[in-house]
Chains A and B, each alone.
Chain A
């Protein structure tokens, strides 16, 4: 309001009078320059996603297919350089302003180029601010799954997921630029690394085995084997700083990201209202990980009525779920490995260590976090999806094969006072065990392993 008053004075002072038409023209021209400079095209939005092969993924899943749009989809045709509708809108709005402001008592406003410029910049700036809002990415909601909880301050967006995907596969996050998240969470191995204990930078050995990240977005009771991290946003910063994993420091990471030709733009698009910082980096990684979904194993297809188990798989299913058919034993697995996630997200002692005192566990697991001795030796129940691809098994990779796992459970686990009562001698015959393994095999979801969206975008 007071600005307008001072502009009136400006007009009274006839120092820089320019014909109205020229002033407007300059204004519009400058606005155009701004628009070209700052306005985003879909092409800009995805410097990481020019995957040319264009083959639309063979990912099929009645439950949830990662949605494709703009740059996120590997199959999008290249965008042209024609003025975007956004630019036309700016032009149009400026013309409208001119028309309106040409009324006798207002047209003075276009008489100075500096004011036109200001107005142009302002309008384009405002316009840009509005249009560069990230585009919402649909929440994964496969049939039969509980709703994924997404923090209200980190909604999924295409731009955020794109950024997170770039970061996830980028070794510059590690101190010596050799290790990315994907080094230990390899998509081809259901986001594990095939090792008992993960290796970090310079071959340093960690302490536990890398879990699969498929369906990790559903882990609302905390992540890690001991649940010590409450959210994916909080979790992402652990490996970056962990001296046994990526061994890096935020200052170094930030400097590298700033110097990188693409990240400034990716961050701006994903988080227009925030800067490139630890929080936004973590948020982007969390967003990408929430899109890692597996729902298309043979088990799922049988559930959906699209195919059938073989008799052996069917018998294994009965054993796994304790369906209690005559002459088919129960293996008690589904008390803890509950479908559809094949984990109830709880913590349990499944009998890996004999421990006459609760203080004797080599790794206390949940107990170290909760401070409750009855939680010692309890670990998060891991998913069994893609389990045949993720050997070796358990939090420290101590069991090499699925046969060893079944043998472990068949014997009833090793005694500790907090050994879960659902782990007990099962008396499974060799055939029962083979049938059970045949069922576990149906949990392999190859479409999740070949989904191009779960691999780095081609540059």
Chain B
């Protein structure tokens, strides 16, 4: 009986030793990425927008990669890496409600403290762009959008159909696929941010796709076949669009 008692006692000791330590207080942060077109929420298929030349326009795809999302600390230290890479993908945004919500990323388990801003890479860092889908699981953001012949990823895609002759049929396809190492840019945005327990912080970013397709009254003349499409062949097209995307990317709050 005494042995049994000892056994139980030691067992209970062993088990209690496994109890996790008191959880340290951690904070969380939500990042929201919105897309608009002339300030209206960007919806795939179901919404008619207006191309800068006046043609009705319907979107089928808008996506872009962001990489090395880092919170900047007030002590000038390295900062906190939130995510190596994310695909901000509006492909399945079919209605206004979803569009207004935007694409959301949640980061938990952050060290509480005061942060002064955030760094976001638009496109992929050279390191990431040197990898390939085979390096990832099938549902990883980098398992797709890869140009094997160019050995690099497509940083951003815009696909839409326009109705230039106004007959109600959106017969004019537009496809712009942009990506190469040199295009990667790091944006640094300042915003005081307190990460604390039980009070999630948030930041909202936005891109206006009209501002990607048009700048200072200039736009691509889509009546010319060669302007309806670019796969990072013509820098006058993809370089210009990418610069516009960079300029349009804003921190809202």
Write the residues of chain A forming the contact surface with B, with a CB cutoff of 8 angstroms: 1, 143-149, 218, 220, 317, 321-324, 330, 334-335, 338-340, 344-345, 356, 372, 374, 415, 417-424
A-B contact pairs, 14 of them (CB 8 A): A144-B132, A144-B133, A145-B134, A146-B137, A146-B138, A146-B140, A317-B149, A323-B149, A356-B169, A374-B46, A417-B170, A421-B160, A421-B174, A421-B175
Alpha-carbon gap, A271 to B94, bound state (A): 44
Chain A residues positioned under 8 Å from B17 (CB to CB): none
Q: Which one of A148, A323, A418, A419 contacts B138 once the chains associate, using CB atoms below 8 Å?
A: A148
Q: Which one of A146, A322, A422 contacts B143 once the chains associate, using CB atoms below 8 Å?
A: A146
Chain A residues positioned under 8 Å from B174 (CB to CB): 421
Residue of A nearest to B154 (CB): A335
CB atoms of B134 and A144 under 8 A apart: yes
Chain A residues positioned under 8 Å from B144 (CB to CB): 338, 344
Scan B150-165; emit 1 where CB is below 8 A from any A CB, else 0.
1000000001110000
Chain B residues positioned under 8 Å from A372 (CB to CB): 94
Q: Apart from A419-B161, A424-B173, what 9 extra A-B contacts exist at CB < 8 Å?
A: A143-B134, A146-B136, A148-B138, A149-B139, A334-B149, A345-B138, A374-B46, A421-B60, A424-B229
CB atoms of A147 and B137 under 8 A apart: yes
CB atoms of A147 and B136 under 8 A apart: yes
Tell me if B193 is interfacial: C-beta within 8 Å of chain A: no
Tell me if B119 is interfacial: C-beta within 8 Å of chain A: no
CB atoms of B4 and A340 under 8 A apart: no
How many pairs of A and B residues are in contact by the CB < 8 Å rule?
Answer: 81
Q: Which one of A143, A144, A148, A418 contacts B60 once the chains associate, using CB atoms below 8 Å?
A: A418
Determine how close the nearest CB of chain A comes to the CB of B53; give it in whole angstroms: 17
Tell me if B240 is interfacial: C-beta within 8 Å of chain A: no
Residue of B nearest to A417 (CB): B170
Chain B residues positioned under 8 Å from A415 (CB to CB): 169, 171
CB atoms of A339 and B58 under 8 A apart: no
Q: Which of A149, A324, A345 has the most CB of B within 10 A?
A: A324
Determine how close the nearest CB of chain B comes to the CB of A379; give it in whole angstroms: 16
CB atoms of A340 and B175 under 8 A apart: no
Residue of A nearest to B159 (CB): A421
Alpha-carbon gap, A324 to B160, bound state (A): 21
User: Given A146-B137, A324-B233, does the pair A374, B161 have CB atoms closer than 8 Å?
Assistant: no
Ranked nearest first, the 10 interchain pairs of A and B with the lowest CB-CB distance are A421-B173, A144-B134, A374-B45, A321-B149, A220-B138, A324-B233, A147-B137, A146-B138, A421-B159, A146-B143
Residue of A nearest to B60 (CB): A421
Interface size on B, residues (CB 8 A): 35
Chain A residues positioned under 8 Å from B139 (CB to CB): 149, 220
CB atoms of B146 and A338 under 8 A apart: yes
Scan B169-187; emit 1 where CB is below 8 A from any A CB, else 0.
1110111010000000000
Chain A residues positioned under 8 Å from B134 (CB to CB): 143-146, 340
Chain B residues positioned under 8 Å from A374 (CB to CB): 44-46, 94
Chain B residues positioned under 8 Å from A146 (CB to CB): 133-134, 136-138, 140, 143
Residue of A nearest to B161 (CB): A421
User: Given A147-B136, A344-B144, A415-B169, does the pair A1, B4 have CB atoms closer than 8 Å?
Assistant: yes
Q: Which one of B44, B138, B147 contacts A149 once the chains associate, using CB atoms below 8 Å?
A: B138
Tell me if B12 is interfacial: C-beta within 8 Å of chain A: no
Q: Which one of A144, A149, A344, A421 contacts B137 once the chains associate, using CB atoms below 8 Å?
A: A149
Alpha-carbon gap, A323 to B146, bound state (A): 13
Residue of A nearest to B139 (CB): A220
Determine how close the nearest CB of chain B comes to the CB of A320; give it in whole angstroms: 9
Alpha-carbon gap, A77 to B165, bound state (A): 73
Determine how close the nearest CB of chain A comes to the CB of B59; give it in whole angstroms: 10
CB atoms of B148 and A339 under 8 A apart: yes
Determine how close the nearest CB of chain A comes to the CB of B180; give it in whole angstroms: 12
Chain A residues positioned under 8 Å from B146 (CB to CB): 338
Chain A residues positioned under 8 Å from B44 (CB to CB): 374
Chain A residues positioned under 8 Å from B137 (CB to CB): 146-147, 149
Determine how close the nearest CB of chain B comes to the CB of A156; give it in whole angstroms: 16
Tell me if B231 is interfacial: C-beta within 8 Å of chain A: yes
Alpha-carbon gap, A344 to B140, bound state (A): 13
Determine how close the nearest CB of chain B comes to the CB of A256; give it in whole angstroms: 36
Chain B residues positioned under 8 Å from A344 (CB to CB): 144
Alpha-carbon gap, A323 to B150, bound state (A): 8
Alpha-carbon gap, A424 to B60, bound state (A): 15
Chain A residues positioned under 8 Å from B160 (CB to CB): 421
Alpha-carbon gap, A146 to B169, bound state (A): 39
CB atoms of A330 and B231 under 8 A apart: yes
Alpha-carbon gap, A372 to B95, bound state (A): 11
CB atoms of B138 and A147 under 8 A apart: yes
Alpha-carbon gap, A330 to B150, bound state (A): 14
Chain B residues positioned under 8 Å from A419 (CB to CB): 161, 173
Q: Which one of A338, A417, A424 contacts B58 once the chains associate, using CB atoms below 8 Å?
A: A417
Chain A residues positioned under 8 Å from B175 (CB to CB): 335, 421-422
User: Given A147-B137, A338-B144, A417-B170, does the pair A324, B60 have CB atoms closer than 8 Å?
Assistant: no
Residue of B nearest to A330 (CB): B231
Residue of B nearest to A1 (CB): B4
Alpha-carbon gap, A63 to B236, bound state (A): 40
Alpha-carbon gap, A145 to B169, bound state (A): 39
Chain B residues positioned under 8 Å from A345 (CB to CB): 138
Determine how close the nearest CB of chain B comes to the CB of A74; give it in whole angstroms: 29
Residue of A nearest to B158 (CB): A421
Chain B residues positioned under 8 Å from A422 (CB to CB): 159, 173, 175
Chain B residues positioned under 8 Å from A148 (CB to CB): 138
CB atoms of A218 and B94 under 8 A apart: no
Alpha-carbon gap, A330 to B147, bound state (A): 14
Chain A residues positioned under 8 Å from B147 (CB to CB): 321, 334
Scan B220-238; emit 1 where CB is below 8 A from any A CB, else 0.
0000000001010100000
Chain B residues positioned under 8 Å from A1 (CB to CB): 4
Residue of B nearest to A220 (CB): B138
Contacting residues of chain B (39-79) with chain A, CB-CB under 8 angstroms = 44-46, 58, 60
Residue of B nearest to A323 (CB): B149
Chain A residues positioned under 8 Å from B132 (CB to CB): 144
Residue of A nearest to B92 (CB): A372
Alpha-carbon gap, A321 to B146, bound state (A): 11
CB atoms of B60 and A420 under 8 A apart: yes
Chain A residues positioned under 8 Å from B177 (CB to CB): 335
Q: Which of B136, B137, B174 has the most CB of A within 10 A?
A: B137
